[in-house]
């Protein structure tokens, strides 16, 4: 009798994202200066390390209100180092809404939401499916 081994599928580990402290501080300051409206932008990695978030990109024409930040996605740069989105909530919640999850599923691999008071204890990161992930601050 022959024994057949099931062919194993290869799954790749998820990326280990990190963000510079300088970039995260800039995100907090943008959120504070936009309050009571939401702030929104895109996350950009360094050329040398595709998993280190170093900059934010502001899209022209972004419309911000007290309960939304509407990105003009047709204004995105053609830049493969843009890996996701960042936006603020004018409340302490950094949990994604259903609209946030739809955005995540269409644009990028990593997403950050910052809630009030816009500091190191009031932000969260998510993958494209809305699952909470960890990002190291370096």
Query: Among all residues, which ones are annotated catalytic?
Result: 38
Q: Is 84 helix (H, G, I), strand (E, B) or coil?
A: strand
Under 8 Å between Cβ of 20 and 54: yes
Q: Which pair of structure tokens corresponds to residue 13?
A: 């580990």
Under 8 Å between Cβ of 107 and 84: yes
- Residue 99 burial (C-beta neighbours within 10 Å; 0-12, 13-18, 19+): exposed
């Amino acid at each position: 009798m022959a024994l057949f081994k099931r062919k194993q599928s290869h799954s790749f580990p998820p990326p280990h994202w990190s963000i510079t402290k300088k970039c995260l501080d800039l995100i907090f300051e943008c959120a504070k200066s936009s309050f009571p409206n939401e702030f929104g932008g895109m996350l950009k990695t360094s050329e040398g390390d595709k998993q280190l978030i170093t900059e934010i990109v502001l899209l022209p024409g972004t419309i911000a209100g007290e309960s939304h930040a509407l990105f003009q996605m047709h204004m995105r740069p053609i830049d493969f180092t843009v890996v996701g989105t960042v936006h603020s909530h004018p409340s302490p919640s950094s949990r994604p809404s259903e609209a946030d999850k739809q955005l995540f599923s269409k644009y990028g691999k990593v997403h950050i939401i910052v809630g009030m008071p816009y500091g190191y204890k009031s932000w969260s990161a998510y993958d494209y499916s809305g699952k909470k992930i960890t990002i190291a601050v370096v």
